[in-house]
Amino acid sequence: MDNDDKFNLDDPGEILSQDDIDSLLLQRFSPEAVEAGRSTRIIGKSTPASTVEVYDFRQPTFMGETEMRRLRLMHEDFIRFLEARLSLFLRKDFSLKMLKLETLSYTRALDTIESPAHLALFRANPLPGIGFLEISPRLALTVASSILGGKGQAPNEARFLTKIEIDLIEEFLFIFLQEWCSQWKFKQHLEPQITGHEVVASVLQICEPDTVLFLLVMEAEVRGCSGQIQVGVPLYMIEPMVRHLKEERRREENFDTGEKVITWRRGYSNLPVTVKASFEVGKMPARNCARWQPGTFIPLDAKALKDVTLWLSNVALFQGEAGVQDGAVAVALKDTIKETSHVR
């Protein structure tokens, strides 16, 4: 007997037992039904099965899409500059490719580090907190061999680095961190400082287990040897730079809409400006004006010289009074014109 014969769901008078309900739920939400994506019967209607997506709630995201896009573009530039600089340092082609750029918890970040591993702990003064730079041991040994002038061939098996090998690659790691710090457009210069080395990720205690980490994962290749390099820093360590990026974006968005502030520049001081003084003659019959010719005297109103307008580059700016001072004709400024007008 199939399910349609057993359960008549179209009959509103039929009462289902708990076993019948459990059977229907198993039919609807069975893993086979979800994976196959076939139609299942729910309350007498055939509907396509839901698409189930896995979401890990232990992997938080604390930065918006815009900030992550800006950081991704910035780190793509960082990778290009770093490739060229490390190729010059090793005198061999050194390639880098970004694999991931994300935020996740400190505990989850440590779980991604394989053993054996080599981790360099660093600071970016004056920022707070400590970050780590993890490099694949096989890649680190290849770099150490290249620094010594060898062929730079990758070892057959990965192993922990010796003290001498750590000292050899420390300059390589410092160049890496120096380039990473220089990419941040921040008001203060960031100075990298390597504070120590570790070989076991589980013993790292640079922050609390639930601290959110900003993680950059890359794949590097040199002399046919490929390996992973990743930089992890607490989110609060780069928070000032992320805030600076947000302010820059806000300034770009409000560049044309904000009120423009006019500032005085030294170059303005020597610009020639045309200065004019004008006053009203008064009203008179048109027949008198028709008889005007060179040499004609025009009578002025007694108040004409007490209401003089001063113009700067055809812009009326001041009201004044004309007169004589120290034997020279002068205008005494009395008031500023609130609503400026232009000569047409």
Domain residue spans in the chain? 3-48, 65-253, 301-344
Q: How confident is the model at residue 25 (pLDDT cuts 50, 70, 90)?
A: low
At what angle are helices 235-253 and 65-90 packed, to 10 degrees? 110
Phi, psi of 5 (to 5 degrees): -80, -30
In this prediction, residue 132 carries a pLDDT of: 92
How many other CB atoms are there within 10 angstroms of residue 221's CB atom?
15
Residue 203 has pLDDT above 60, yes or no: yes
In this prediction, residue 256 carries a pLDDT of: 53
Whether the CB-CB separation of 125 and 227 falls below 8 Å is answered with: no
**Could you tell me the sign of the dihedral formed by the alpha carbons of 3, 8, 9, 15, in that order?**
negative
Highest mean pLDDT among 77-81, 298-302, 328-332: 77-81
In this prediction, residue 344 carries a pLDDT of: 46
Tokens of 243: 């805030």
Q: Is 33 helix (H, G, I), strand (E, B) or coil?
A: helix
In this prediction, residue 41 carries a pLDDT of: 44
In this prediction, residue 9 carries a pLDDT of: 52
Q: What distance in Å separates the CA atoms of residue 171 and residue 177, rounded to the nearest whole number?
A: 10
Whether the CB-CB separation of 101 and 72 falls below 8 Å is answered with: yes
Give the helix/strand (H/E) hosting 62.
Answer: none
Segment among 57-66, 121-130, 263-272 with least mean pLDDT: 57-66
Q: How confident is the model at residue 1 (pLDDT cuts 50, 70, 90)?
A: very low
Please indicate whether residue 14 or residue 178 has the higher confidence score (pLDDT).
178
Q: How confident is the model at residue 73 (pLDDT cuts 50, 70, 90)?
A: confident
Tokens of 292: 């005007």
**Superfamily of 65-253 according to CATH:** CheC-like (3.40.1550.10)
Burial of 226 (0-12, 13-18, 19+ CB in 10 A): middle
